[in-house]
Amino acid sequence: MFISSAFAQTAPAAASGGDMQSTLMSMLPLLLMFVVLYFVMIRPQMKKQKEHRAMIDALAKGDEVVTAGGFLGKVSKLGEAYVSVELATGVEVQMQRSAVVQVLPKGTLK
């Protein structure tokens, strides 16, 4: 009385080769979306991270930089994990290397 007729039916027969092909075809859009996602989002992000890491590793004393906070300054000391940046004459701050966003061309700051 309360049991639907769907529960009373027998299990379907074993999957044939045609069902396998239809399953593969239904997964194809999902795989295609992952491939597009990789080339549109993941790969460019990894490339950007690699370029940023190379820029940070190439920092040298005297480089003019822009920090993540928007400060412009000149690198005065380099440590393994930290950098000292001179923001103005006599004003020096210490920050993580990863906070450096961009290296400016020489002579930008006057």
Q: What is the 8-class DSSP label of residue 12?
A: P
Predicted pLDDT of residue 21: 85
Beta bridge partners of 103: 65
Predicted pLDDT of residue 20: 83
Pairing of strands 91-96, 82-88: antiparallel
Alpha-carbon distance of 93 to 63, in angstroms, equals 15
Residue 85, phi-psi category: left (phi > 0), alpha (psi -120 to 50), beta (remainder)? beta
Q: What is the pLDDT of residues 16-44, one digit of tens each?
A: 556 888 888 889 999 999 999 999 999 99
Predicted pLDDT of residue 4: 61
Please report where in the chains the tokens 């890491």 appear, as a residue.
53
Predicted pLDDT of residue 14: 54
Average pLDDT over residues 95-108: 94
- Evaluate the CA torsion angle 88, 91, 92, 98 in order and state its sign: negative
In whole angstroms, how far apart are CA 21 and each of 17, 25, 86, 105? Answer: 7, 6, 65, 58
